Amino acid sequence: MRNVISAAFTSGLITVVQGTDVNIRNGQKVYVIFSEKRTRIIQAN
């Protein structure tokens, strides 16, 4: 996935997913993987 921007707030986590190959729906459960270079989002089963 590309162009993932994350921001942490005291009330939770807001993640904006942008890209043409994104197949994650609103409300779908995901895993968020943080690293120094980027944040990745993968679908939870």
Query: Which pLDDT score, from 0 to 100, does residue 39 have?
Result: 79
State residue 14's pLDDT score: 65
Range of the domain at 32: 4-43
Q: Contact 30/24 with Cβ under 8 angstroms?
A: yes
Residue-wise pLDDT for 8-27, tens only, equals 544 556 666 666 666 778 78
Instruction: Provide, rounded to the nearest whole percent, the portion of the chain with pLDDT above 90.
Output: 0
- When divided into structural domains, the chain yields a total of 1
Tell how strand 4-9 and strand 30-34 pair up. Answer: unpaired
C-alpha–C-alpha distance, residues 9 and 1, integer Å: 23
pLDDT at 36: 80
Mean pLDDT of the chain: 71
Give the separation between CA 9 and CA 17, rounded to whole angstroms: 17
